[in-house]
Structure formats: structure tokens, C-alpha cells
């Protein structure tokens, strides 16, 4: 029994060290800084969106990106184009990266970096009647 417990502890230690090593391999600035262009799908149609990540500041407990978010069309399909500064919080777990920020209309957006590091997938949640949330898919591709 004691031998099995030691083997489990060694295995757990290796797993944790591999996770820490993979976190060190992800350079968030290289992976995220740049222009991300794509679209958001809403009930009234599909509209272009752009996320421009200017820089990443290492902060505790999570890094924060200085960015701008813009696009044509709003929740009602209107033609307004707004470009606004947004503060993007970044959660990185090994090779998994999640971006969270609020659109200029204050709706929360959550995006995940795909494993090819060229696509961000996620959704913008728009509150509707009685506490329900409409989920609007967002897909952005990194522009060279």
C-alpha cells in the first residue's frame, strides 16, 4: 500500500511539473498581440467584429491586455460602428487561454484561444427577459 502511495505522489509531482513547464512555453504576447478579425452572429444577422490587442501587462493574479473592440451593427442590427478601449483579463492554464472583457454596450464576451493559436472562439451574452441570456457566437481570426 505504501509503495502505491509513493508512486501516486511521484506521478502527481510529474503531472504538476509538466503543467508548469507548459505554462512557461506559452508566450502570451506572441500569441495574442495583434489584430483579430471576424464576426458575431446575432438574431438579427451576422456582423463583422475586430479585436486589436495592443499589449499585455503581467499582473497578479491575472495578466491584462490593453485592447480595442469594434464592429458594424449592434444588438438590433443597426449600422453604428463603435471602437472602444476594453480591458481584457486573461486566464492561462498551460496551453489553454481564455479572454474575458465587456463590449462597448457592456455585454460580457468570453473567447478561447484555439490550439492553432490563430483563432478565438466564444460568445457574447446579451441579457434578455427574466434573467435569461442570449448567447451570440463570436469567431475571430488573427490577421497577419
pLDDT for res 32: 95
The string of DSSP codes covering the chain is -HHHHHHHHHHHHHHHHHHHHHHHH--HHHHH-EEEEEEEEETTEEEEEEEEEEEEE--SSS-EEEEEEEEE--TT----EEEEEEEEEEEEETTEEEEEEE-TTS-EEEEEE-TTSSEEEEEEEEE-GGG-EEEEEEEEEEE-
Domain boundaries, the chain: 27-143
Q: How much is the pTM?
A: 0.75
Quick one: what percent of the chain has pLDDT higher than 90? 49
Is the pLDDT score of 133 beyond 70?
yes
Q: Does position 4 have pLDDT exceeding 60, yes or no?
A: no
pLDDT of residue 104: 85
Q: Is 90 exceeded by the pLDDT of residue 124? A: yes
- From the list 96, 118, 120, 104, the residue with the least C-alpha distance to 71 is 104
Residue 105: band (very low, low, confident or very high) from pLDDT cuts 50, 70, 90: confident
Question: Domain 27-143 is in which class?
Answer: mainly beta
Would you state the pLDDT for residue 11? 55
Tell me: the pLDDT tens digits for 22-76? 445 578 999 999 999 999 998 888 999 999 999 999 876 789 999 999 987 655 4
Amino acid at each position: 500500500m505504501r509503495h502505491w502511495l509513493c508512486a501516486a505522489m511521484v506521478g502527481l509531482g510529474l503531472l504538476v511539473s509538466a503543467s508548469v513547464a507548459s505554462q512557461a512555453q506559452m508566450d502570451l504576447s506572441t500569441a495574442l498581440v495583434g489584430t483579430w478579425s471576424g464576426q458575431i452572429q446575432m438574431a438579427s444577422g451576422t456582423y463583422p467584429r475586430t479585436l486589436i490587442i495592443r499589449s499585455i501587462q503581467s499582473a497578479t493574479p491575472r495578466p491584462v491586455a490593453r485592447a480595442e473592440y469594434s464592429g458594424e451593427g449592434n444588438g438590433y442590427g443597426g449600422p453604428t460602428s463603435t471602437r472602444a478601449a476594453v480591458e481584457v483579463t486573461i486566464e492561462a492554464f498551460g496551453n489553454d487561454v481564455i479572454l474575458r472583457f465587456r463590449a462597448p454596450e457592456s455585454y460580457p464576451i468570453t473567447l478561447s484561444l484555439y490550439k492553432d493559436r490563430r483563432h478565438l472562439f466564444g460568445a457574447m451574452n446579451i441579457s434578455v427577459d427574466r434573467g435569461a441570456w442570449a448567447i451570440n457566437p463570436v469567431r475571430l481570426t488573427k490577421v497577419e
